[in-house]
Amino acid sequence: MLAVIFLAGVTIAFAQTTLPQCQCSSLQACQQQNEQQKETCATRQDCIALLGSSNQTGIMSCFSTGNTRQRAVRGCTNSSTPQQITVNSNPQDSSSESDEQIDVSTPFDQYKQCVENCKSTIADCPTQLNCALGRNRSRRDASGLDCPRMRQCLAAAGVVMQNGGR
């Protein structure tokens, strides 16, 4: 299927395809595996070193004390016969996340960028499973580090979160 959009005199064409809706059990298992890989990114020594003379042992403990945000599995199905969902097959899929630039003015911002660069090598689960999410999908936090509990733990470990403060 080919969809064509006319926008302010510009024609944009992209292909669409249908995929089965993701099974919740498969999606949950994949997300758990990806979260483990992402935790590895967050605790890489080259990324942690960007935080400077902060308490590196304290920082590492932040990742083992339940401060990371667990994403809910949404937009999937438990049906044995999942519905077919039409998705854009163009790499610039409008439902994919934009490549936001992270401000790297503080050591914490540099650390977040390092973690995000590592995580960018991990394919999202619907892509890995060749399926699509329904309307209730959620957007992931780019770094997983902006959860209040995580920020509090990192600040207690001496990480400077903003210029001029913690």
pLDDT in tens, 8-32: 566 666 688 899 999 999 999 998 8
Number of domains present in the structure of the chain = 1
Q: What is the pLDDT of residues 111-154, one digit of tens each?
A: 888 988 998 888 889 999 999 998 765 545 445 666 777 778 88
* Angle CA 149–152–158, to nearest 5: 145
Is it the case that residue 162 has pLDDT exceeding 60?
yes
| CA quadruple 26, 29, 34, 40: dihedral, nearest 10 | -170
| Residue 148 resides in a domain | yes
Q: What are the backbone dihedrals phi and psi of residue 47, each rounded to the nearest 5 degrees, phi first?
A: -75, -45
| Residue 63 resides in a domain | yes
Sign of CA dihedral 71, 75, 79, 81: negative
**CA distance linking residue 96 with residue 75, whole number of Å:** 15
Distance of CA 17 to the CA centre of its chain: 24
Q: 93: which residues sit within 8 A by CB, 6+ positions away?
A: 87
Which structure tokens are listed for 104?
A: 């790297």
**CA distance linking residue 156 with residue 166, whole number of Å:** 9
Residue written as tokens 């329904």?
134
Determine if the pTM surpasses 0.85.
no
**CA distance linking residue 157 with residue 63, whole number of Å:** 12
3-state secondary structure of 20: strand
Distance of CA 107 to the CA centre of its chain: 21
| Residue 77 resides in a domain | yes
Q: What is the pLDDT of residues 40-86, one digit of tens each?
A: 888 888 988 888 766 777 877 777 655 555 566 788 999 999 999 99
| Residue 89 resides in a domain | yes
Q: Which residue range is the domain that position 36 belongs to?
A: 20-156
**CA distance linking residue 15 with residue 104, whole number of Å:** 36
